[in-house]
Amino acid sequence: MDHPAVEVRGLHVSYGSTPVLVDVSLRVEAGKGVCVTGENGIGKSTLLRCVSSLQQPDDGEILVFGGTPGATPEFWRTVVTTVEPPTWYPGLTVREHAELVCRAHGQDPEEAGIDEALERFGLAGHADAIPPSLSSGQKQRLTLAVGLIRPSSLLILDEPEQRLDPDGRAEVAALLVDYVRDGGSLLMASHDDAFAAASGAEVTTMESLSS
């Protein structure tokens, strides 16, 4: 399998009469990271949504590991995205959410290292809390934690540094470096140049993707 993780060619998306993406092309090699930067409203999230199969483009071709992205369980076992925020299960604690995700992927929660993951994301003291009671930054950490604890081959993250404090940003950037070093691929959008550089991803601007 020598397919790139993500391959986008000639992507066109418009909202009503407003074109957002015009002839956008992008390539993320397997085992590499790419970070797209650009001002608000330039279409970063739209691009990520299209790659995650959460939005239908007007025109263009998108391949994820050589296949068309879709709503299949196989696709979602390969790809993790934080483009949309989750609705947490009622009456389930932070730790139980992480354990649920592990078990659904056939992992043993102890071996998967839930406690270490919660510790790294600064959530160890909130393991028994229910997610709606967390602050927005802690919810963002939890979303990343449950996304990273399960096996996957491609991470699609929309501004993962958002709402995180400086320590949290450094921690998440380090985890992304580990993820790519272990063979994963990364496509993310960010406003924070320092975070993008720390995550080890190749930084590219939205303008440079339009030919």
Partner 1 sequence: MTAVPLAPVRRWISRRQSAHRERGATAGNIYFTVLFLAVVGGMVHKQLAVVFWPTHPNASALAAASLVPILFGLLYLALRRFGPLALSRPAASWLLPAPVSRRRLLLPSLRLTAIVAAIVGALAGLAVLGHGAPRTLGGEQIALFGTGAALIGVALLLVALAAQAGGRWGDRLDAVVSLLLAAGLVGLVTDATGDHAPAADGWPPARTLVPLVGALALVVALLFTLAVRGLARTPNQRILEAAKTAGTLFDSAFGMEPTFLTDMIERRYWAHRKLRSMHLSARLPVLVGQDLLLVLRRRSRLLWLVLAAALPVLLADAPHWLIGLAILVGAMLAGSTAAGNVKTDAGNPVLLRILGLSSRTAVRQRMWVPGILAGVWSALALGLLSALGDLPSGPWWVLGLVLGPVGAVASVRRARVGFVRNELLPLDTPMGTVSTGPLVNAAIGPDALLLGLPALIEIAQGHPLSWLTVLVQAVVGGLGARAYLAGTTAADRVELHALR
Token representation of residue 19: 């074109």
Does 16 interact with partner 1 (rule: CB under 8 A)?
no
> Residue 90: which residues within 8 A CB-CB, separation 6 or more?
130
Q: Which of 17, 132, 167, 182 binds partner 1 (CB under 8 A)?
A: 132
- Residues 49, 147: Cα–Cα separation, whole Å: 16
Nearer to partner 1, 111 or 167 (CB): 111
Q: How many other C-beta atoms can be found within 10 angstroms of the C-beta atom of residue 35? A: 24
What are 149's strand-pairing partners?
Answer: none
Does 153 interact with partner 1 (rule: CB under 8 A)?
no
- Near partner 1 by CB under 8 A, which window of 24-32, 93-101, 162-170, 192-200? 93-101
CB of 202 to partner 1, least distance (A): 26
- Near partner 1 by CB under 8 A, which window of 13-21, 29-37, 67-75, 166-174? 67-75
- Near partner 1 by CB under 8 A, which window of 27-35, 42-50, 104-112, 174-182? 104-112
- Near partner 1 by CB under 8 A, which window of 35-43, 101-109, 162-170, 183-191? 101-109
Distances in Å between the Cα of 101 and the Cα atoms of 96, 146, 167 are 9, 7, 26
For residues 70 to 89, the per-residue mask of contacts with partner 1, x marking binding by CB under 8 A and - elsewhere, is: -xxx--xx--xx--xxxxxx
Q: Which of 150, 162, 174, 198 binds partner 1 (CB under 8 A)?
A: 150
Does 93 interact with partner 1 (rule: CB under 8 A)?
yes
Nearer to partner 1, 52 or 190 (CB): 52
Does 41 interact with partner 1 (rule: CB under 8 A)?
no
Q: Which of 103, 119, 136, 208 binds partner 1 (CB under 8 A)?
A: 103
> Residue 129: which residues within 8 A CB-CB, separation 6 or more?
93, 94
Task: Summarize as ranges the residues that interact with partner 1 (CB under 8 A).
Answer: 71-73, 76-77, 80-81, 84-96, 99-101, 103-105, 109, 127-130, 132-133, 146-147, 150
